[in-house]
Amino acid sequence: MSVNKTTLQVFPVTGDVTPYYIAMQPLTTGLTAAEYVSTTCTFIPQTGVLNATATSARYADLAEIFQSDGEYTPGTVVVFGGQKEITVTNISHDTRVAGVVSTNPAYLMNNGTVGSPVALTGRVPCQVRGPVSKGTLLVTSTTPGVAEALNDSMFRPGCVIGKSLEIILDDSIQTVEIAVGRF
């Protein structure tokens, strides 16, 4: 069976909320839409909600939107506090650390809320001051929005953001991939 192109068609189903089942209609002859109907995928136009099961994602983090004190760029390290829910800090090894502002989360919670998407777990770009190696534990630094390597003598439970996935050889601030929540 070879299908080169498909179109998305919506077929109505009876019920009070009028949900729709999504079916892939092949553009080749000899195949029927019924072969592509999925009873695990529904769309409700009134709410704009699509319910489906996914086994993979294009992006690599789980994020939640929090009300923020300012507009933070992706890769910014944030903590709980400030005038709203999250802000930046100039405290090294701050135990209020919330996560890193996400670029494009695979899954976003509180999508209707106004604020910044904060990666709680997964892989994201992050502003980091070196030197760091792959696997270095990262914490908040005295530079607002920037992570740095953990100083073992300053460790306190709850201060670790995650682990570096890249190397910075000098003390420069660079945007590198990190694994948030891996400590």
What secondary structure does DSSP assign to 130-167, as a single string?
S-B-TT-EEEE-SSTT-EEE--GGG--TT-EEEEESS-
Position 56 in a domain? no
Q: What is the pLDDT of residues 49-66, one digit of tens each?
A: 666 666 666 668 999 999
| pLDDT for the residue numbered 111 | 87
- Say yes or no: 67 and 38 in one domain: no
Backbone torsions φ then ψ of 139, nearest 5 degrees: -135, 175
- pLDDT surpassing 60 at residue 16: no
**Mean local confidence (pLDDT), 164-182:** 96
- Say yes or no: 14 and 71 in one domain: no
Count of domains observed in the chain: 2
**Mean local confidence (pLDDT), 29-36:** 39
pLDDT band at 182 (very low <50, low <70, confident <90, very high): confident
| pLDDT for the residue numbered 5 | 35
- pLDDT surpassing 80 at residue 19: no
- Say yes or no: 133 and 44 in one domain: no
Position 123 in a domain? yes
- Distance (Å, rounded) from C-alpha 182 to C-alpha 121? 8
Position 71 in a domain? yes
* Mean per-residue pLDDT over the chain, rounded: 81
- Say yes or no: 118 and 97 in one domain: yes
Tokens of 140: 């908040």
- Say yes or no: 88 and 171 in one domain: yes
Position 1 in a domain? no
Determine the 3-state secondary structure of 181 from DSSP. Answer: coil
**Mean local confidence (pLDDT), 114-123:** 95
- Say yes or no: 28 and 65 in one domain: no
- Say yes or no: 65 and 121 in one domain: yes
- Say yes or no: 156 and 84 in one domain: yes
- Say yes or no: 46 and 78 in one domain: no
- Say yes or no: 139 and 167 in one domain: yes
- Say yes or no: 122 and 155 in one domain: yes
Enclosing domain of residue 37: 6-51
- Say yes or no: 168 and 81 in one domain: yes
- Distance (Å, rounded) from C-alpha 142 to C-alpha 154? 13
**Mean local confidence (pLDDT), 16-30:** 45
